[in-house]
Structure 1
Amino acid sequence: MIIKILLLIFVVSSVKAEKEETEKYDFKTEKELMDAWKAYKIKYGKSYGPAEDAIHLREFVKSCRLITKQNKLYDQGLSTSVAGLNEFADMTDEEMKPWRG
């Protein structure tokens, strides 16, 4: 019985954490976006020159929109998966080719 209760607490807290994560990429202001972009680059050790930065920022924004769309489906009970950022979120299609096989 105790194991079932602990498991339930874990599942509820995991779902709560996932739901909090779903709101993270829906930026309301340019400052929020740029702060997230800066934090993302720091977290994954990325550094670009000005021209490259603009290209990768564009890909990052696309990824954030896809993540937000997927997570809204999850929040509505229309999907069982939650999406999130990873080290590939700012890569162009060309850069992703080797990872796709």
Structure 2
Amino acid sequence: MSEVVANAFGVGAALCSITSFAPQMIKIWKEQDATAVSLKTYSLTVTCFALWVVYGVMTGAWPVTFANTCALLMASGVLAMKWRFSRRARSGSAA
């Protein structure tokens, strides 16, 4: 397989990973509600992306590092909103 084709697949995979969190983030932000989000799942997802970033740095694989850093930021955003809106719901304060 040519390097161009392989890179095209890698870019496609990176874009899918990065943008896959956008709909969830938008929905949570608009509704100010993250009750449907699994804390355990997103905690594991954030850990996964963090490990991929470390792997990318250690191996010098900048595409892996870049893509997983972006995905890590998006997943971390969802996780942060989960914590934020869960605390707000528990305290009974409205947005």
TM-score, L = length of structure 2: 0.36
Structure holding more helix per residue = 2
TM-score, L = length of structure 1: 0.34
Structure with larger RCO (C-alpha < 8 A, sep 6+)? 2
